[in-house]
Structure 1
Amino acid sequence: MAAIRHRIASRALPPGGKLPSIRALAQTMQVSKSTVVEAYDRLAAEGVIRSRPGSGFFSAASLAPLSLAELAPRLDRAVDPFWVSRQSLEARGGVLKPGCGWLPDSWMPEDEIRRALRGLARTKDATGLTDYGTPLGLAALRGFLSRRLAEQGVEAAPDRILLTDSGTQAIDLVCRMLLQPGDTVLVDDPCYFNFLALLRAHQVNVVGVPMTPTGLDLGAFAQALAEHEPRLYITNSGLHNPTGATLSGVTVHRLLKLAEQHGLTVVEDDIFADFEHEPAPRLAALDGLERVVRIGSFSKTLSASFRCGYIAARPDWIDKLTDLRIATGFSSNRLAEELVLGVLGSSGYRKHLESLRTRLAKTMASVIPRLERLGITPWIVPKAGMLLWCHLPQDLDAAVVARHALNDDVVLAPGNVFSPAQTARSSMRFNVAQCADEGVFAVLEKAMKLAQS
């Protein structure tokens, strides 16, 4: 009965859809036919299914709203990707957020943002203030991004770039274009937890591939390709979320060769590119945007309030993605794109990035020993960025620690929310930029002691 209800809730069985025969379901679930008969009779009595003599059983339920919670594994439901996101986004003033994935407000280029806002308000052309944007997005911003990508070795003409409302929407559009429910998608293990939430919404099978300090485990990757025949692989390049690892040139080359052999498409999310001191190898650069789709946004270094991201891909895919963009959002966000261009093109923003990289490096160097004094050890010391992937002492359950810390208004990010295989029970991601308050470490120490008891 639970299995049938789950199929209806997940939309795998639509209203009026035919259920498996009694014999087929008995074989699938390895139960007796009488058990299936009893289950079907009870569901029919509840009005969930209906019997049609001579035809079988059919779903009678109306189409319920899609519940991502129902599609999720019931492992640690209290602390999952949605838990971390909601606690971070809904946090009231005074709540500390070392588990979130963005910089504090005071670290953002506020002066450049205000200057760009004033400049846009003074323009005599009201188009950017009132009219719809074009389907591809602001041409001037796409040209700017084309030049920036070229500096990283990625050749993408402006007409091969589609602007989106965010990096998340960019990945969602690619998934809409390439995936069907039931397809298999590879991700890193651990990976950015919202990849898992988004893929859950697309009702695909997610398979994790273990990470190493130089990228994913290539042996495990090859095995996953052979066993699961995935449609897509989604990863962070440059600086990996949550581990802070960077790809080696050897990993990039071998990964792309394996992808080509197995007809795999790769989505390269490069949202942390501006944090790097020295650019790491990029999949899109070596691939030439044939099999790799490049994703990016500006929420980490400019403003999360300007919802603006982009997709760089081969021309025929950009054409299809543009149609999807119109179908799901109609037009681009012209106002946000004008503001982003105004900030990115300023000399103040370049100075902001230089200062930000230096500040993050100093903060990383100060936070690591403070965590180590609590017995929390980093998996690696990242070359740049704000994220630190750590192991808790005595194999503590990070989810339990996170629950205790929340009672004292500190939001943490326990490891298993990043792990498809749930193998990061004693790991935790820290945002060093959000660890300036001494209260973070005091609450963390208290929460760890409570988790031990």
Structure 2
Amino acid sequence: MARHSTRTHDVMAAILDQIARRTLLPGDKLPSIRRFAARMKVSPSTVVEAYDRLVAEGAVRSRPGSGFYVSAGAASPAVNELQPRADRAIDPLWVSRQSLDAAAQTLKPGCGWLPPDWMPGAILRRALRGLARADDALLANYGGTQGLLPLRQFLARRCAGEGLDLSPEQVLLTSSGTQAIDLICRFLLRPGDTVLVDDPCYFNFQALLRAHQARIVSVPYTPAGPDMARFAEILTEQRPRLYITTCGLHNPTGATMSAQTVHKVLTLAAAHGLVIVEDDIFAEFEPEPSPRLAAFDGLVNVIRIGSFSKTLSASVRCGYIATRPDWIEALVDLQVATQFGGASPLASQLVFDSLMDSGYRRHMAALRGRLSRARRDTQARLAELGIRTWVTPRGGFYLWCQLPDGRDAARLAQFALGEGVILAPGNVFSPAQQVPDFIRFNVAQMDDARIYAVLRAGLSARLVAAS
């Protein structure tokens, strides 16, 4: 029965995929039952059941004596309910889609967040109890256009601690770090503008820039930061409008930009009119602060963004932008235009109360120690499989690793997915597709022995041999 149900599900998914891709349009007739059964290598009764379920969902309508037709308004029916698709192409959205839609029992060493029991649950619960006693205005009203003032004041003080002097009026709260980048792209880019990213880089940078119809160019990343000779060439030849990077605990490599590289990047940016977006999301995972572009630059050519999804909760969406005063007003207007109001006042208050909790600093100190032990353990266990770490990070939870003998990470990821393990193959992070034998591991998600068994089996299989 379960196998028959799976086959029915596959037939439904195939039809819904054609509708979503507009291969089948509203009013089009579905393939005949016998023809589609032969194509899908299932019985006609399986196709009948699948078509009947699609009728019940409203995606398809039946005409007795004539057949089945795509319903009007079925441009994108319940495709998401049938995700994640194992046959989805491995692109910059592959890891996100697989990780976010995974079943509870799926192992996720390729995802970009900590397990729930590594997060400050007790602190969040105390903050939630406080919110339950909040006045009606906080519970019901829109927030101010720049966001909760006490949280903006806190962020300004934290920046001052690293030598970056700014006022709370230079901080704009957003609904997430991703939305912060989206607002900046709306403000500074036009379709066709060139944007520079690292290679490799956080895969969602690529996905978001493509949504803005930007032209993406990439610079090779080294253990000390971007390759400066190539960086200078790109600025001269390509004239990018933006450079988006993670300066401390780079994603995915875990590297940290050196002070010398920071200085060179800023010198070239000033000479070429380049605006830099520095994602500072991993700052609190460092044992000691490393050089930062925003601090050295003073927010002249650098915009800082961040969020609290890695340290507090991915469920509480709150990010921020710190930038020069003359850009804040335009960014506020854009945020009001695109989502009416600023960041959620409830989420902002929850974040602020959690950060002010006396246990938060102790939690982060303990978390850094726990991650350090997990990195050492994971590196040792991967080394037994011949998987080598590219650089040992100063903190955080990522290891950027090279597979042995040129093994193909994308094929390994597809193999592992069939075994209930989600991996993050290197080329999803590489605009130039230059790292097919690399893979990013999340050390906080690597404590299950089944992961290493799947890796061992995959590496020994012909299907992940170098192409």
User: Per the shorter chain, which TM-score range?
Assistant: 0.7 to 0.9
Deviations 1:11-66 (A, max 9, x none): xxxxxxxxxxxxxxxxxxxxxxxxxxxxxxxxxxxxxxxxxxxxxxxxxxxxx99x
Q: Which of these residues, 111, 130, 137, is aligned with residue 127 of structure 1?
A: 137
Matching residue of 1:154: 164
Structure 2 Cα separation of the partners of residues 360 and 81 of structure 1: 26
Q: Which of these residues, 346, 357, 361, is aligned with residue 346 of structure 1?
A: 357
Deviations 1:137-188 (A, max 9, x none): 0001100111111112222210000000000000010000000111100000
SS in 2 for 1:429: strand
Deviations 1:416-435 (A, max 9, x none): 00001000100000000000
Structure 2 Cα separation of the partners of residues 243 and 155 of structure 1: 29
Matching residue of 2:32: none
Matching residue of 2:226: 216
Q: Pairwise mapping of residues 60-75 of structure 1 onto structure 2 (< 5 A)?
A: none
Matching residue of 2:297: 287
Residue 140, structure 1, aligned to residue 150, structure 2: yes
SS in 2 for 1:295: strand
SS in 2 for 1:94: coil
Structure 2 Cα separation of the partners of residues 185 and 431 of structure 1: 28
Matching residue of 2:404: 393
Instruction: Tell me if the contact between 2:409 and 2:464 (Cα under 8 Å) persists in the aligned partners.
Output: no
Residue 402, structure 1, aligned to residue 413, structure 2: yes
Deviations 1:266-320 (A, max 9, x none): 0000000110001110000011001100000000010001100000000111110
Q: Which letter does structure 2 place at the counterpart of 1:214?
A: A
Instruction: Tell me if the contact between 2:411 and 2:464 (Cα under 8 Å) persists in the aligned partners.
Output: no
Matching residue of 1:371: 382
Q: Which of these residues, 427, 450, 457, is aligned with residue 439 of structure 1?
A: 450
Q: Which letter does structure 2 place at the counterpart of 1:118?
A: R
Structure 2 Cα separation of the partners of residues 452 and 91 of structure 1: 23
Deviations 1:182-205 (A, max 9, x none): 110000000000000000101111
Q: Which letter does structure 2 place at the counterpart of 1:431?
A: N
Deviations 1:251-275 (A, max 9, x none): 0001000000100000000000110
Residue 449, structure 1, aligned to residue 460, structure 2: yes
Structure 1 Cα separation of the partners of residues 415 and 88 of structure 2: 16
SS in 2 for 1:271: coil
Judged with a 3 Å threshold, the aligned counterparts in structure 2 of structure 1 residues 316 and 342 are, in CA distance, closer, same or farther, namely same
Deviations 1:342-393 (A, max 9, x none): 1001111111100000000010011001001111001011111100000001
Q: Which of these residues, 420, 423, 427, is aligned with residue 412 of structure 1?
A: 423
Q: Which of these residues, 338, 345, 350, is aligned with residue 328 of structure 1?
A: 338
Matching residue of 1:206: 216
Residue 443 of structure 1, CA deviation: 1.0
Q: Pairwise mapping of residues 238-253 of structure 1 onto structure 2 (< 5 A)?
A: 238-253=248-263
Structure 2 Cα separation of the partners of residues 362 and 126 of structure 1: 45
Residue 92, structure 1, aligned to residue 103, structure 2: yes
Q: Which runs of 5+ in 1 are unaligned?
A: 1-63, 66-75
Residue 452 of structure 1, CA deviation: 4.2
Matching residue of 1:104: 115
Structure 1 Cα separation of the partners of residues 265 and 217 of structure 2: 16
Structure 2 Cα separation of the partners of residues 407 and 427 of structure 1: 20
Q: Which runs of 5+ in 2 are unaligned?
A: 1-74, 77-86
Residue 360, structure 1, aligned to residue 404, structure 2: no
Structure 1 Cα separation of the partners of residues 198 and 204 of structure 2: 12
Residue 112 of structure 1, CA deviation: 0.3
Q: Which of these residues, 408, 432, 457, is aligned with residue 421 of structure 1?
A: 432
State how many pairs are aligned.
379
Residue 77 of structure 1, CA deviation: 6.8
Q: Which of these residues, 112, 127, 131, is aligned with residue 116 of structure 1?
A: 127
SS in 1 for 2:165: coil
Instruction: Tell me if the contact between 2:412 and 2:464 (Cα under 8 Å) persists in the aligned partners.
Output: no
Mean Cα deviation higher: 145-154 or 216-225: 145-154
The root-mean-square deviation of aligned C-alpha atoms, in Å, is 1.3
Instruction: Tell me if the contact between 2:392 and 2:399 (Cα under 8 Å) persists in the aligned partners.
Output: yes
Deviations 1:203-260 (A, max 9, x none): 1110110011011111110001011000000000211000000011100001000000
Residue 328 of structure 1, CA deviation: 0.6
Residue 229, structure 1, aligned to residue 248, structure 2: no
Residue 87 of structure 1, CA deviation: 0.4
SS in 2 for 1:310: strand
SS in 1 for 2:399: strand
Structure 2 Cα separation of the partners of residues 143 and 130 of structure 1: 23
Structure 1 Cα separation of the partners of residues 354 and 419 of structure 2: 37
Mean Cα deviation higher: 264-273 or 441-450: 441-450
Structure 2 Cα separation of the partners of residues 155 and 402 of structure 1: 45
Q: Which letter does structure 1 place at the counterpart of 2:102?
A: A
Structure 2 Cα separation of the partners of residues 210 and 196 of structure 1: 15
Q: Which of these residues, 322, 344, 360, is aligned with residue 312 of structure 1?
A: 322
List 4+ stretches of structure 1 deviating above 3 A.
Answer: none
SS in 1 for 2:359: helix
Instruction: Tell me if the contact between 2:398 and 2:441 (Cα under 8 Å) persists in the aligned partners.
Output: yes
Matching residue of 1:54: none
